[in-house]
Every structure is written in structure tokens, then in C-alpha cells.
């Protein structure tokens, strides 16, 4: 069956230098999972923070499930990420270094049906880094087009 991607944060690789990727579970309520099965989520402007030895995901938007009935949840509420103590301690050490932050890059269903978050340990890019990356991407695209055309 494989992974079923719910949503991705495409701007993450544009705005950050991704150093390391970690998979984490996420604590959700029933109506939120049903909404995710319909693909109603967004990782835009979301980030993870460590508070009191626990990791929380902020600003992730999950559209409320239409048939939830009496349950009304805040679509942007902080959600707890499920990581082992050893992983959390290592992340605390890394995020205290200058410039490192935790950014969710992908939200998906694992083969067992669990909702997982792909967290990236990342450093913010400067404006000139972004311009350089765009220029390299454009040059690479032009080279591929020249290769496809073949010799004259």
C-alpha cells in the first residue's frame, strides 16, 4: 500500500536549508483524522516547538469535519507530536544551536494507517541563498532542455 501523502510544505525547501528529517506521530482526535482522510489540511506557516520536554506542532490547519456533530475543535490548535525521550533530548540539543528550527515538511498516512509528520531540522536561508538556488534550478532546467534537443 505504501505512504498516502495528505499535504506537503513545498516552501520549506525554498526557505530553509534542511539538515535532517525525522518521522513523528501526532496526537489527533477522531473528527480530525476523518478530515485528514478527506485531505483537508495545510502545513503553511506551521512549526514545531519543544515545551517542558514535549514537542508540539503549531499553526497546522485541519479543516473541521463536516459531519462531526456536537464536537467543535479549533482548526489551528497546538497538537502534540509523539517522539521518544531520546529523540526529544537530541532535538533539544540541536534546536538550541544558533538558527535551527523544526519545520513540518509532510503529513501522511503510514502503511498501518497512522497519521505521521515528517519534521525537518532546518536553518533559515538568507535572501541571497534563495536567489542562488533559483538561479541554479533555472540553469539546470535549461541544460536539460538543450540535452533533449540533441546535436544540431
For 39-95, the pLDDT digits (tens) are 888 888 899 999 998 999 999 998 888 887 777 778 889 999 999 999 998 888 888
Confidence check: pLDDT of 132 > 90? no
The pTM for the full model equals 0.76
Domains of the chain, earliest start first: 4-126 (2.40.280.10)
Q: Any idea what DSSP says for residue 126?
A: P
The reported pLDDT for the residue numbered 152 is: 64
1 pLDDT band (50/70/90 cuts)? low
Amino acid at each position: 500500500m505504501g505512504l498516502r501523502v495528505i499535504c506537503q510544505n513545498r516552501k520549506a525547501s525554498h526557505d530553509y536549508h534542511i539538515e535532517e528529517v525525522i518521522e513523528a506521530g501526532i496526537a489527533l482526535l477522531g473528527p480530525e483524522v476523518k478530515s485528514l482522510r478527506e485531505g483537508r489540511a495545510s502545513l503553511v506557516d506551521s512549526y514545531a516547538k519543544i515545551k517542558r520536554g514535549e514537542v508540539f506542532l503549531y499553526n497546522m490547519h485541519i479543516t473541521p469535519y463536516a459531519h462531526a456533530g456536537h464536537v467543535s475543535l479549533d482548526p489551528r490548535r497546538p497538537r502534540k507530536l509523539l517522539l521518544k525521550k531520546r529523540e526529544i533530548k537530541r532535538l533539544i540539543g540541536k534546536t538550541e544551536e544558533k538558527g535551527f528550527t523544526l519545520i513540518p515538511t509532510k503529513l501522511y498516512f503510514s502503511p498501518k494507517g497512522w497519521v505521521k509528520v515528517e519534521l525537518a531540522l532546518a536553518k533559515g536561508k538568507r535572501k541571497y541563498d534563495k536567489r542562488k538556488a533559483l538561479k541554479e534550478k533555472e540553469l539546470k532546467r535549461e541544460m536539460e532542455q538543450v540535452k533533449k534537443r540533441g546535436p544540431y
